[in-house]
Amino acid sequence: MKMRMGVLWAGVLALGLAAPAQAALFDRGGGLIYDDVLDITWLQDANLAASNTFGVGGIDAAGWMTWDTA
């Protein structure tokens, strides 16, 4: 009986803590996406270094670089 109650309460707690994602993403142009829930701006291209090195040396064609280069 105690085990069933523990499982029941764990289920109720898990359902109570689950919240749906409600973020709205806004395209700011120039490859930038704004997340209004986290209040941050993301890069639209997660591997931007592969397509544009911005004149920084030490970045290979796949976008790989050392920690110091990053």
List the chain domain ranges: 22-55
Per-residue pLDDT at 19:
64
Per-residue pLDDT at 23:
81
Residues of the chain predicted below pLDDT 70: 1-3, 5, 11-19
Q: Which two tokens stand for residue 46?
A: 């997660």
Amino acid present at 54: F
Cα–Cα distance, 1 to 35 (Å, whole number): 46
Chain segment 20-39, per-residue pLDDT in tens:
778 899 999 999 999 999 99
Cα–Cα distance, 32 to 41 (Å, whole number): 6
Residue in this structure with the two tokens 């120039």, named with its chain if needed: 30
